[in-house]
Amino acid sequence: MIQGINYPWTVFQGKSNYGCDFGWNKWNSHAGVTTHIDDVRADFESMAASGYEVSRWFVFTDGRGGIEWGPNGELVGFADRFFDDMDAAVEIAGSTGVRLCLVLIDFAWLDDPLRRAALESPAFIDRVLDPFLDRYGSHDAIHSYDVINEPDWRPEWPIDSLRAFVGAVSNRIHQQSRALVTLGGGRVRNAKQWDDPVYGLDFVQVHSYPDVRYPDRDEGLFGRTAASFGLTRPLLIGECPSDPRQHPDGHLSPAYTLADYLNLAREGGYLGAWPWSFKGVDAFGSPAL
């Protein structure tokens, strides 16, 4: 069992820094790791002291930071200061012993047609992934790559396009890195989909946020073992609420605790259960450390 946690991005000057941890951003400013490196190091030292082995950290999210876009919306390459920030993140991970699960993009990336086109062409792999792997592919501080977070929430992107993109990225990572590859599946019921060999994943991942108002919206995890899914790969609970008793407005959670999720993972043969989130970036709060 892997003791992991969702970082998933820093808090900078009191605000969630979604999409801006690495490199210059679309607001022509920089709020990356190197601008508050002592805070980031303190976070990782705290994670290490709490026994966490892996921190799941979002990199390019919806494309607002870390990527340089051309005047016509084409993907050019890395934004300024990207490597400064990623170098710092990898060094901190290596020195504290909390390895990284790097989430390359978030489902919100798919909302922009031009950005979606960059995934359907060689642009992302040639101009982002390959040079990234050239620099970091052999670094032991990187435990895994999560190709895309919760593509379930953008079903309008054709499944053939999703499969082609994830499969190509997985293949390239496996060629140039010892790190594992996964995908942040947003629904438990889709676990079997991600087990398809076309994706090339090393472990399947599902996210679980039960809501008592809509018990049939997704399949539940409690009362099930990982083996009951009939997968050929290990199964990770990649996101679960840090404190299920806290919840966003209108979202009513069952009376599970984080300890219940961790026991489920341990006793049910899951690869782990990673709480969302260390920084308490939403109403689910942060785990007691």
Note the pLDDT tens digit of each residue in 19-63: 999 999 999 999 999 999 999 999 999 999 999 999 999 999 999
Q: Looking at the domain assignment, is residue 284 inside a domain?
A: no
Q: Which residues contact 219 (CB under 8 A, 6 or more apart)?
A: 187, 188, 189
Domain-located, residue 81: yes
Q: Is residue 289 part of a domain?
A: no
CA 191 remoteness from chain centre? 16
Q: What is the CATH number of the domain that holds 182?
A: 3.20.20.80
Q: pLDDT for 156-182, tens place per residue? A: 999 999 999 999 999 999 999 999 999
Query: In Å, what is the CA distance from 29 to each residue of 9, 24, 80, 81, 103?
Result: 17, 6, 10, 11, 22
Question: 248 to each of 211, 215, 244, 245, 285, how far by Cα in Å?
Answer: 11, 17, 10, 10, 10
Number of domains the chain is built from: 1
Put simply, whether the predicted model's pTM sits higher than 0.85 gets the answer yes
Report if residue 286 sits inside a domain.
no
Range of the domain at 221: 4-276
Is residue 104 assigned to a domain? Answer: yes
70 pLDDT more than 80: yes
- Domain assignment present for residue 29? The answer is yes
Q: Provide the CA 188 distance to its chain's centre, in angstroms.
A: 16
Whether residue 246 is predicted with pLDDT greater than 60 in this model: the reply is: yes
* pLDDT classification of 253: cutoffs 50, 70, 90: low
Q: What confidence category does residue 283 fall into, taking pLDDT thresholds of 50, 70 and 90? A: confident
Classify residue 285: in a domain, yes or no: no
Q: Does residue 118 sit within a domain? A: yes
